[in-house]
Amino acid sequence: MATNGSGDDVEQQEWIHFNSVLRTFQNYKLESLERVYRSEQYLNQLPEYHQEWLQSYRSDLQIIKRCIEHNSSIIDIMTKEAPSMFENVRAVDANISSASYGTVGEVLAEGVDKVQATLKQLARDWSSMGAVERSQCYQPIIEEIERKFLNNAIDPSQIKILVPGSGLGRLTYEIASRGFVCQGNEYNLFMLIVSFFVLNRCTELNSFTIYPWVQQHVNNLSVKHQTAAVTFPDISPNSISGKSSGFSMAAGDFLEVYKEEQVWDCVATCFFIDCAHNIVAFIETIYKILKHGGYWINLGPLLYHYSGAQSQPSIEPSFEAVKKAISCVGFIMEKCDTRVKSRYCQNPASMLQYEYDSVFFVCRKL
């Protein structure tokens, strides 16, 4: 969302972007089905005997279309209350509904890819199928927090932990469920809309089904792998969410939202620091908001999200250069493990598997 210009201009631009995200969600079905229709049209142009040999493929395309239609119905449910989730009065006044999100805001260029990424994240964070990835990526952070803060001398309810780039909120939930005061922070509206639904409206276990890999048209041994069903949530987030718990979520740009110094006992980052245009700005902010003696715990790669975007500024220092910057900011690195095997939103049945050799480190502010 834009942050330049007067207050009214910024509000208008943010409202337009919010509507664009909602319209992009709503466009999921059309854009996804168009991709399948193109395959069907080309199939119909093939020689008749080729078509005959590919009858099972034609049937597979029908299954894929039904999965897309089902996903669309779940998206409608998840986005139904989105216009009012931030007390967005202007959006409500525009009479935005699940059928029509108003005339302001266009479908985003990345379109279905953004929606698909959110569905994959939903499988990773809130389904039993994501348990392996969560164990790889979240468990080392959780165990380190427990080592640092869970002992007889420390009441976890007095420990404040921040999780920037919290996505759909599972890591934040897991930390809060152990008695800590934990706040997740997220900037991506696709994630915020779906996390609002999961954290506030999902009360029964495995009450919803999605097909997170239905857009994955390549590297499938069987159509069953492309159309594998995933149910969510695997646990009830309502068990700790609410005003009476130490669990909360905050929307907005990390660098803009968190400016008060010496507030947090721990900052936990997972697949986050490489989302910065300038990674040093993230490191500096983490240092400033930590209390003296506080810890920064991190796990993830250095993908550098803006590296390939010609319209966006970006620097991409190696981890050795990042370590130097961490030291210059003032942190003491107490632990550093490299080549920590970790996956991100992978279809476990796919013929192609991506696996990161992530870094896991623990830093302390003196």
Which pLDDT does position 93 carry in this prediction? 40
Query: Is residue 4's pLDDT more than 70?
Result: no
Which pLDDT does position 7 carry in this prediction? 61
| CA distances, 233 to each of 198, 205, 356 (Å) | 7, 5, 26
Which residue would you say has higher pLDDT here, 93 or 269?
269
The CATH architecture annotation of domain 116-365 reads 3-Layer(aba) Sandwich (3.40)
pLDDT digits (tens, 9 = 90+) for 137-153: 999 999 999 999 987 77
Which pLDDT does position 66 carry in this prediction? 98
Interacting residues of 351 by C-beta distance below 8 A, sequence separation 6+: 219, 220, 221
State the greatest distance between any 2 C-alpha atoms of the chain, in Å, as a whole number.
Answer: 76
Q: Could you say which DSSP state residue 212 is in?
A: T
Domain ranges across the chain: 1-109, 116-365
> Side chain identity at 274, as an amino acid letter?
D
Query: Is residue 166's pLDDT more than 60?
Result: yes
CA distance 43 to 55: 10
Q: Give the mean model confidence (pLDDT) for residues 222-228.
A: 98
Lowest mean pLDDT among 9-23, 54-68, 211-225: 9-23
Cis peptide before 233 (omega within 30 of 0): yes
Which pLDDT does position 87 carry in this prediction? 58
CA distance 56 to 96: 41
Mean pLDDT of the chain: 91
Q: How does residue 79 score in pLDDT terms, banded at 50, 70 and 90?
A: very high
